């Protein structure tokens, strides 16, 4: 399929007249507003790298991108989106199609998404929209932005370790049965293996007895290793070992089984136990043979298998005086400026710098970034300011020392640190005797110690340390990091901080909108890159909806008050 770039035609006169007649005095549909206000947002030339120069000309990729975004804005399937292109006059207006245009086959949308992933154009839809908004003055660098994350369930069934082993063997057998049926028939007793792996593991109930479960796990392991030995045998075609399903089986067996030698010198295949053999860390452990990027994650009392999505957006402070008015004297709309997707095992703090890098690439770095306590660290406070010029507005985690947790005694804040003389003075006026730079868990620290005899004779020792042999010991950070941490902890207790940080709560509404409109918490596709594409398209769709409301002077929704709450307020008054 080839690409022959061409500008989008203007909506035909016939369709323009019909739309004007239908929506006279009423709010026009989303597709009409976007076309009128933003014009040809996605030019064909941008997607030239994803298409060839020879062959039959394909459908306009720029139009396909707009169709895909509208599809997410209305939560349509591929078939429903293709039908909307054929029959809906507002979509024809937005795409510049004639009334008699018969559209395209739904499979083209899946092929288009695959091309975007294959040619690293996943963020293109968001990049082009943000650039257009910057050019129109609807989006500016600086100001305030806020970020938060939410869980995303993978588009696969959640399997336990026993089910994972059995389904991995079955998936490998299915792949071999399709690609090399003759080899499989000559190598294995197909009838015998079909009895165990002819149907999916989730289609029947696992045995309730632990003894039977252990026997089934051992059988899965033995069958898996038997299949791998046959695939990797010298006389077997080498390309069989390169099948994705076979490689997944190899990794699953490696992560969940061990081969030991008994007293008689025989090999015994047994399942890995965490307290005996150890298990791979969660960030590396495969959870499904059909989505090898999905991982298990947890946040407080929530546990899931899949991914995380991080949404960043601009946020307007009503007290800011530098916000320019728009239609109806509204402030600028809140726009989603970045979408990041990770597997569920990646902590939020690991994404703070990548998010800032993405915003820097787009030229949309904020002056202040409001995030919850999962994103910052003492080092990130300094890095964000030095590298990006961003002030992180966030509550820092509290001191976790025994004294701080108890709320009694002398915690680290009670000590006076002098970085110039490399000394620390305790509340009793005693000076430290050791200042030792160190590296703990990959982090630069300074270990400070007080003299043992001095601490032993101190009248308030029990309020300072529980050490029986040594004196008080403190672990602090290098000067800039420690000072930034101390200032942040002091600042977060002020009324001004609480007033500013209230803006962060608005991102919870954005996540709620993403879930309600685009079902963001359920992955449509399998794999990290395709799931990220889904989230980017969802973010663009939400921006379309917000821009539509802003262009039509529709105020932001306010929290609804239930009848019961309204009655309670009335009685309280």
Encoding tokens for residue 235?
């006389």
Give the pLDDT of residue 326.
44
Give me the residues paired with residue 447 across strands: 436, 475
The predicted structure's pLDDT at residue 274:
85
**Total-model pTM:** 0.89
Query: How buried is residue 118: exposed, middle or buried, by Cβ count under 10 Å (0-12/13-18/19+)?
Result: exposed
Q: What is the CATH number of domain 144-149+296-395+496-551?
A: 3.30.420.10
Q: What is the spatial distance between Cα 384 and Cα 381, in angstroms, rounded to a whole number?
A: 6
Rounded to an integer, what distance in angstroms lies between the CA atom of residue 502 and that of residue 496?
10
At residue 410, the pLDDT reads 86
Q: How far is CA 96 from the centre of its chain?
A: 35
Element of type H or E holding 340:
strand 336-343
pLDDT of residue 571: 87
Question: Which tokens belong to 202?
Answer: 């989730």
Residue 573 CB contacts under 8 Å (≥ 6 apart), including other chains: none
Q: Count the neighbouring beta carbons within 10 Å of the beta carbon of residue 151.
A: 18
Report the pLDDT value the prediction gives residue 328, as an integer from 0 to 100. 41
> How far apart (Å, rounded) are the C-alpha atoms in residues 178 and 193?
15
Give the E-state strand segments of 179-324 in sequence order: 257-261, 267-271, 295-299, 302-314
Q: Going by DSSP bridges, is the β-strand pair 391-393/368-370 parallel, antiparallel, or unpaired?
A: parallel
> How far apart (Å, rounded) are the C-alpha atoms in residues 532 and 342?
8
- pLDDT tens track for 523-537: 999 999 999 999 999
Inter-residue contact 309 to 536 (CB < 8 Å): no
What's the pLDDT at 413?
83
DSSP 378-419: HHHHHHIIIII--EEE-PPPPP-SHHHHHT-S--GGGSEEET
* Residue given tokens 């591929």 in the structure block: 78
What does the alpha-carbon distance between residue 180 and residue 191 come to, in Å, rounded to a whole number? Answer: 16
How many other CB atoms are there within 10 angstroms of residue 198's CB atom? 12
Q: How far apart are CA 492 and CA 394, in angstroms?
A: 8
Beta bridge partners of 310: 149, 340
> Encoding tokens for residue 386?
């030095």
pLDDT for 55: 66
**pLDDT, position 464:** 87
Angle between helices 30-38 and 61-73 (to 10 degrees): 140
Length of the chain: 573
Residues in the chain with pLDDT < 70?
1-2, 55, 317-330, 556-560, 573
- For residue 376, the model assigns a pLDDT of 93
Report domain extents, the chain. Answer: 13-121, 144-149+296-395+496-551, 161-271, 402-490
- Percent of the chain residues past pLDDT 70, beyond the cut: 96
């Amino acid at each position: 399929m080839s690409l022959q770039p061409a500008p989008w035609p203007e909506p035909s006169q016939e369709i323009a007249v019909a739309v004007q007649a239908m929506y006279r005095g009423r709010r026009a549909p989303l597709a009409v507003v976007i076309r009128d206000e933003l014009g040809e947002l996605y030019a064909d030339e941008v997607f030239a790298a994803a298409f060839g120069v020879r062959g039959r000309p394909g459908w306009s990729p720029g139009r396909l991108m707009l169709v895909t975004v509208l599809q997410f804005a209305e939560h349509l399937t591929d078939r429903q989106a293709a039908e909307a292109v054929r029959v809906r006059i507002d979509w024809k207006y937005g795409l510049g199609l004639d009334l008699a245009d018969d559209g395209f086959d739904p499979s083209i949308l899946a092929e288009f998404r695959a091309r975007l992933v294959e040619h690293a154009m996943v963020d293109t839809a968001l990049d082009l929209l943000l650039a257009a908004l910057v050019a129109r003055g609807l989006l500016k660098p600086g100001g305030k932005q806020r970020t938060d994350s939410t869980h995303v369930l993978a588009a696969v069934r959640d399997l336990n370790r026993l089910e994972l082993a059995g389904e991995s063997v079955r998936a490998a057998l299915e792949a071999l049965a399709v690609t090399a049926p003759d080899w499989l028939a000559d190598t294995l007793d197909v009838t015998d293996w079909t009895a165990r792996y002819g149907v999916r593991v989730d289609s029947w109930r696992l045995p309730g007895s632990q003894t039977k479960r252990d026997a089934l796990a051992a059988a899965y392991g033995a069958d898996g290793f038997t299949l791998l030995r046959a695939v990797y045998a010298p006389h077997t075609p080498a390309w069989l070992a390169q099948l994705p399903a076979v490689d997944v089986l190899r990794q699953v067996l490696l992560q969940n089984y061990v081969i030991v030698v008994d007293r008689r010198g025989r090999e015994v295949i047994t399942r890995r136990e965490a307290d005996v053999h150890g298990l791979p860390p969660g960030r590396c452990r495969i959870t499904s043979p059909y989505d090898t990027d999905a991982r298990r994650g947890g946040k407080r009392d929530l546990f899931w298998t899949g991914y995380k999505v991080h949404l960043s957006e601009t946020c307007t402070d009503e007290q800011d005086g530098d916000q320019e008015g728009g239609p109806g004297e509204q402030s600028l709309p809140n726009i989603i400026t970045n979408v990041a997707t990770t597997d569920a095992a990646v902590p939020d703090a690991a994404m703070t710098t990548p998010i800032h890098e993405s915003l820097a690439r787009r030229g949309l770095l904020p002056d202040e970034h409001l995030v919850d306590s999962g994103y910052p660290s003492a080092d990130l406070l300094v890095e964000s300011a030095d590298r990006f010029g961003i002030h992180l507005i966030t509550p820092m985690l509290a001191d976790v020392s025994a004294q701080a947790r108890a709320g009694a005694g002398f915690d680290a804040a009670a000590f006076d640190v002098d970085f110039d003389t490399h000394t620390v003075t305790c509340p009793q006026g005693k000076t430290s005797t050791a200042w030792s730079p160190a590296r703990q868990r990959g982090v630069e620290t300074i270990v400070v110690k007080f003299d043992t005899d001095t601490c032993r004779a101190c009248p308030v020792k029990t309020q300072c340390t529980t050490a029986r042999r040594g004196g008080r010991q403190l672990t602090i950070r290098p000067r800039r990091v420690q000072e930034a941490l101390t200032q942040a902890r002091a600042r977060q207790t002020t009324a001004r901080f609480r007033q500013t940080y209230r803006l962060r709560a608005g991102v919870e509404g954005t996540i709620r909108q993403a879930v309600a409109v685009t079902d963001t918490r359920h992955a449509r596709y399998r794999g990290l890159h395709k799931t990220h594409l889904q989230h980017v398209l969802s973010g663009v769709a939400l921006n379309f909806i917000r821009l539509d409301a802003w262009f039509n002077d529709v105020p932001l929704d306010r929290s609804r008050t239930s009848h019961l709450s309204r009655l309670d307020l009335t009685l309280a008054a």
